[in-house]
Amino acid sequence: MITQFARILEVPEEYFYFLAHEIPPKYRQFSPDSPFQIQEAFEAFARSYRSEEGGKESEVGN
């Protein structure tokens, strides 16, 4: 349902999963080898989310 809602509103579906405190199915396809991989992924997300360019990692030299 989230996918259809996102498509109709022309908003990335990941945004609605984020609002719903859910992980999109395409990111749950593979099981991590260790709990530390999950920790690293969430830390990378947090760094990206906090960046100055609307959630995109800043490029060196910009």
For the chain, give every domain's residue range: 2-50
**pLDDT confidence of residue 51:** 80
pLDDT in tens, 18-60: 999 998 888 888 888 899 998 998 899 889 888 855 545 444 4
pLDDT surpasses 90 at 13:
yes
Among residues 29, 16, 22, the alpha carbon closest in space to that of 7 is found at 16
From CA 39, how far away is CA 61, in angstroms rounded? Answer: 28
Q: List CB contacts of 47: < 8 A, sequence separation 6 or more.
A: 57
Q: Which pTM value belongs to this model?
A: 0.63
